[in-house]
Structure 1
């Protein structure tokens, strides 16, 4: 079966965001590529050449990837259209992930036991990315 990975666009702070995600989830970056190191980007503004063209962080069996949006592309907008869902392997891990991701952000639904047999909560992190943290008690 195909694998679905997540690719996030940021307005110049991808490196900061991914260092934050690395501090939450652990692991090492698979790739960190700047525009200045990529063919065809020589004509970009010098300030844009330092930005990230691609970064990849493995999380579980998937890869969280990202890029900085540069001109002439339209800026990234954040909203309610997408949430990243994280399934924790324990109740303790769910609380840690939720609290770490919420640091500097906003819990929109506090982590709590739900009627469907899970510990579940939602938040928006300090970079505007929405997350759902879940731990199923019945698995």
Structure 2
């Protein structure tokens, strides 16, 4: 499977635009594609979209550092994220402290930042959108 790429696709159940704004501030996310349901060249099948979801995000692509993520509001309110974490590696302890604090704002810390055998700073949290994060400092090169 040469040239195969796996990219996370996140469904925010009506809060995608709010999440994008949050990740722009917290992580410097850069939005590359932004399409609302009402802008689609094709209408959705009858009953597929929840009422008042025309202005919600049908598809977006955004970059955080060198990684691309995709997201949407989906077709109805509510989302459930479980069984995975996004792992974020940053170059310095100062940056890991800043990013961890930003993502933890209105979220829940599972493991505060601490020294581990693989990183000088590692921590785990769930942000305000229920996305689980594992954050650490890049290992020093020998």
TM-score (norm 1): 0.87
The 2-side partners of 1:135 and 1:27 are apart by 19
Give, in angstroms, the shift of residue 46 of structure 1.
5.1
Give, in angstroms, the shift of residue 64 of structure 1.
1.8
Q: Contact conserved, 2:50 with 2:75, CA < 8 A, in 1? A: no
Give unmatched runs, 5+ long, in structure 2: none
TM-score (norm 2): 0.85
Deviation readout 1:83-135 (Å, 9 max, x if unpaired): 00000011111111111010110111001111234310000001111000011
* 1:26-41 map, 5 Å: 26-38=28-40, 39-41=42-44
Give, in angstroms, the shift of residue 75 of structure 1.
5.2
* 1:28-107 map, 5 Å: 28-38=30-40, 39-41=42-44, 43=46, 44=49, 47-71=52-76, 76-79=79-82, 81-107=83-109
Give unmatched runs, 5+ long, in structure 1: none
The 1-side partners of 2:61 and 2:15 are apart by 15
RMSD of the TM alignment (CA)? 2.0
2:116 — aligned with what? 114
The 1-side partners of 2:128 and 2:5 are apart by 27
The 1-side partners of 2:71 and 2:105 are apart by 20
The 2-side partners of 1:47 and 1:61 are apart by 34
